[in-house]
Structure 1
Amino acid sequence: MLYNAYELQRTMLSGAAAWASIGAEVLSNPRLPVGYFGLGPVLASALDVFAHAAAPRGKPEFGIKAVTVDGQTFGVTESIIERRPFGNLLRFERDELPADAPNLLIVAPMSGHYATLLRGTVARMAQSSRVFITDWADAKMVPLSEGTFDLDDYIDYLIAFLERIGPGTHVLAVCQPSVPAIAATAVMSAREHPCRPATLTMMGGPVDTREAPTSVNDVAMQQPLSWFENNVIATVPMTYPGAGRKVYPGFLQLAGFMSMNLHTHLMSHWAMFQHLVRGDEDSADSTKAFYDEYRSVCDMDAEFYLQTIEHVFQEHSLPKGEFVHHGERIDLGAIRDTAILAIEGEKDDISGIGQTRASLHLAANLPDARKRYYLAKDVGHYGIFNGSKWRNRIAPVVEEWIAAHQKPALKIVA
């Protein structure tokens, strides 16, 4: 009933958004005098804000066509190099990239947003690296015949993607996937797998949420696992390919994040309205672009979501040495040569300071020379991987770490 009710509301709002958009265009028509005085600009702006807020959104495109390096512009080619039911492996390669450029696998969160949320991360790292990224599928679009997807599957996907790219690959995990990424690294290290990561960079990841718990952690701890299963898990309606699949809907995830900083989001839309009234289209478009991405959400398979709540936020299985992969305990002490860089934002209200840094002491057998911690001053969660502070201050740290541990022989993925 929850999902069906949402679909009904979405359909109604879609129609209202379309009419609001038409009204805004009519009132903004330069041939109509009403658009220049009185309440005309105010009403047109209000309709525009409502139309943007209520409009339906699908999966965005990465749209990275070129990057600029040292004042020179290079084209970028996007391709799918491996297809899987719950996620594809994408590659972004710029023109004239040196043959010995590092291979970098960016592990995107499976947390309700599409991998395009990391568009800025990909674009910046594509300047110097051959970039690959996990493009996770919207669970409601995956037929039930493909089975479920859980933490074991997530780790299996990462191992398979690293095998596809080849030895010497560097890994950059953003937020939530820090846990399965370091787990996959430990599994591969224990097996002395030739394709284990050369470096693993984790940014704002909940490796040990007992360190500086945030409101996100508090919410996960306040209710038993059964509460989440009974209150936030829904069944995909018959109108989607994944009909009958149990999921944590993206719209619930978005509602949760919006409610955490409701005042900020309301002020952003108020500022957008004021920009439109003043005719400052560039400033309004900047806000619109952010929310176009932020409101583009997808569903997670229920198995993965519930296991993440249980093992990452409630049981703290990884830092306690109790996390298992296909029934075998994961030993982070097996990581002996993958260099680890932990990055945190000083103002991160999603993953508190110390949660990612914990990975450095958990990898007890890794030499200190292969560990580094970087605290990004005056940076929040989103700013760790997007925006000017990411591009100018954090990305160079990642590039330096990769360069310091780059292996000479690399496989060029076809």
Structure 2
Amino acid sequence: MPIGEFGGAPPLVSEGSPVLTTPMYWMYEMAHASLNPARAVTDATKILFQNPLNPWTHTELGKSVAAACELFERTTRRYGKPDWGLDETQVNGVRVPVEVRSVWEKPFCRLLHFDRKVTRPLNSPAPRVLIVAPMSGHYATLLRGTVEAFLPTHEVYITDWSDARMVPVTEGRFDLEDYVDYLIEMLHALGGNMHVVAVCQPSVPVVAAVSVMEANNDPYVPISMTLMGGPIDTRRNPTSVNALAEDRGIEWFRNHVITKVPFPHPGVMRDVYPGFLQLNGFITMNLDRHMDAHKALFANLVKGDGDLVDKHREFYDEYLAVMDLPAEYYLQTVDLVFVKHALPKGDMTHRGRPVDPSKIRRVALMTVEGENDDISGLGQTEATHALCPLIPAHRRVHYVQKGVGHYGVFNGSRFRSEIVPRINDFMISAATNKKPALKVAHSAAE
């Protein structure tokens, strides 16, 4: 499955993408609506050729017609926000239910708590972790596997970013500085004693937020921060994504990918980077692989291979669900992180004040990278250690996971078996101010 671009930096557009004007978004909506009758016909046809009473259903022709109808419907529909589907977990060998509820909310984000209904007393309090999900096109449900891996041993909270087309313009704009403010407010609302895990793109605003809190001697500063595959300094081992942003410059993105939300969405007339254009960029990065995957879906539908069909549906239901990004946030992120490299150069500011990571002294730091990451190259996340000299050597760790790409840094079997135990050990060590017990591939202090 094509997962290299999954959960990466704020999505860029492919070569040859058109100049986007406001009418194009309206035309997209009209084209999508115009296909509704065709989708209704194909749905009816699919039902007809899957009806066991229809003699054609059991023939190669009938199965092919039903498969073609499903492919048409799936490739022309708009995919909504996926469900979390995390109704239970296992704590100390006992299955317990999980309730997902919002504990803090503002127009552009909700803070969700995965409340484990534990009935037996725990031997020790579970570490409380705030997972900061990327605001980079896909929904926070992209990190379902990340949350699932932490649930047995942690009290998990996650940022659930809003689709910008659903936020009325009366709620105001949202940029990178607002993002930092949101993180600080969340940490205050959670009342301290928190560990923060930033997955990819949020690494920069998390470092900024912690720097601001440390500069203000904020008592709610987190115990630790873990940065996973984050673009802290994209000058190190730059990838094609980094090079594309730097070569084109911010004005190209402003002129080519920003448009206004059309009627009838609640955010009508809000400036956004629309989800459908992001999806175009995602797809064209690996067009051949996506086409092969859908050819395989057709063949498996005809053969009746339910397991492979279900895997395809599960992956693409998540992959094709995208949201609009606020234009101010997207452009500021591309400019400051990928073009100007403001944080590592010491040029980043927040509300007119310098963002200085060298102020960080009470927060333990762990950075995690994937050996084969083609989104955030090796060394880009590790660069954080050089920016935070006041963190003691025994409270900092850098780990490189062998044999994984970007997606494998925060999901998959190696994430569950090798990365999560190290993060857990690091958090426990940070809370007790001891050296981590697990051996890591490389410590930044060495």
Structure-2-length-normalised TM-score: 0.88
Query: In structure 2, which of residues 240, 256, 259 is the aligned counterpart of residue 234 of structure 1?
Result: 259
Aligned match of 2:5: none
Quick check: 1:56 aligned with 2:78?
yes
Q: Is the 8 A contact 2:213 2:221 kept in 1?
A: yes
Distance across 2 between alignment mates of 1:26 and 1:60: 28
Q: Note the 1:8-157 alignment, pairs <5 A.
A: 8-69=30-91, 71-96=93-118, 98=122, 100-157=125-182
Tell me which of 220, 223, 236 is aligned to 2:248: 223
Residue 294 of structure 2 corresponds to residue 269 of structure 1? yes
State the SS of the aligned residue for 1:45.
helix
CA–CA distance in structure 1, aligned partners of residues 432 and 184 of structure 2? 19
Map residues 304-383 of structure 1 onto 2, 5 A cutoff: 304-383=329-408
Hey, what's the Cα distance between the residues in 1 that align with 2:105 and 2:300?
Answer: 43
Tell me if structure 1 keeps the 8 A contact 2:49–2:57: yes
Cα deviation digits, residues 360-386 of structure 1 (max 9, x gap): 222122122111111122212222222
Aligned to 2:412: 387
Gaps (5+ residues) in structure 1? 409-414
- 2:92 & 2:154 partners in 1: Cα distance? 15
Provide Cα deviations, 1:66-116, integer angstroms capped at 9, x if missing partner.
Answer: 013454311111111111011111111212273721111010111111111
Greater mean alpha carbon deviation, residues 138-147 or residues 64-73: 64-73
Q: Tell me how far 1:243 sits from its aligned partner.
A: 1.2
| Bigger mean CA deviation after superposition, 29-38 or 394-403 | 29-38
Alpha-carbon separation, structure 1, partners of 2:273 and 2:165: 10
- Classify 1:389/1:33 alpha carbon distance in 2 versus 1 (closer, same or farther; 3 Å): farther
Distance 2:286 2:419 in 1: 25
Amino acid at match of 1:173: A
User: What is the alpha-carbon distance in structure 1 between the residues aligned to residue 421 and residue 384 of structure 2?
Assistant: 21
- TM-superposed CA distance for 1:234, in Å, is 0.5
Mapped to 1, the partners of 2:346 and 2:55 lie a distance apart of 70
Distance 1:368 1:263 in 2: 46
Displacement of 1:46 after TM fit?
2.5
- List per-residue Cα deviations over 1:275-295 (Å, max 9, x = no partner): 222211121111111111111
Is 2:60–2:302's contact at 8 Å kept on the other side of the alignment? no
Mapped partners of 1:9, 1:158: distance in 2: 38
Contact preservation (8 Å) 1:337, 1:370? no
**What CA distance in whole angstroms lies between the structure 1 residues aligned with 2:252 and 2:185?**
34
C-alpha distance 70-85 of structure 1, shift in aligned 2 (>3 A)? same
Q: Residue 290 of structure 1 aligns with which residue?
A: 315
Sequence identity (%)? 46
Q: Unaligned 5+ residue runs, structure 2?
A: 1-22, 434-446
In structure 2, what residue type is equivalent to 1:152? E
What is the distance in 1 between the residues matched to 2:134 and 2:27?
A: 27
Matched residue of 2:345: which SS? coil
Counterpart-to-counterpart distance in 1, 2:271 and 2:300 = 42
User: How far off its partner does 1:125 sit?
Assistant: 1.0
- 2:428 maps to which residue? 403
| Gap change, CA 1:14 and 1:318, over 3 Å in 2 | farther
Rate the CA distance shift 1:278–1:181 in 2: closer, same or farther, 3 A.
same
Distance 1:270 1:392 in 2: 33
Q: CA deviation at 1:272?
A: 2.0
Contact 1:206–1:355 (8 Å) recurs in 2: yes
SS of corresponding position for 1:322: coil
- CA deviations 1:313-364 (Å, max 9, x no partner) are 0000001111110111111111112111111122222111111111122212
SS of residue matched to 1:64:
coil
Question: Which stretch shows the higher mean deviation, 122-131 or 152-161?
Answer: 122-131
Report the equivalent of 1:210.
235
Give 4+ residue runs of structure 1 displaced > 4 Å after superposition.
none
- Return the alpha-carbon distance in structure 1 between the equivalents of residues 341 and 200 of structure 2: 16
Q: In structure 2, do the counterparts of structure 1 residues 242 and 118 end up closer, same or farther at CA, with 3 Å as the change threshold?
A: same
2:437 is matched with none
1:322 and 1:149 mapped to 2: Cα distance? Answer: 21
Asked whether the 8 Å contact 1:349–1:381 carries over to 2, the reply is yes
Q: Which one is further off, 298-307 or 10-19?
A: 10-19
1:407 deviation in Å?
A: 5.7
Cα deviation 1:146-179 (Å, max 9, x = unaligned): 1100111000000000011122200011111110
The number of aligned residues is 408
**Distance apart, 1:13 and its partner CA:** 3.8
SS of 2:344's equivalent in the other structure is coil
For 2:25, the equivalent position in structure 1 comes to 3
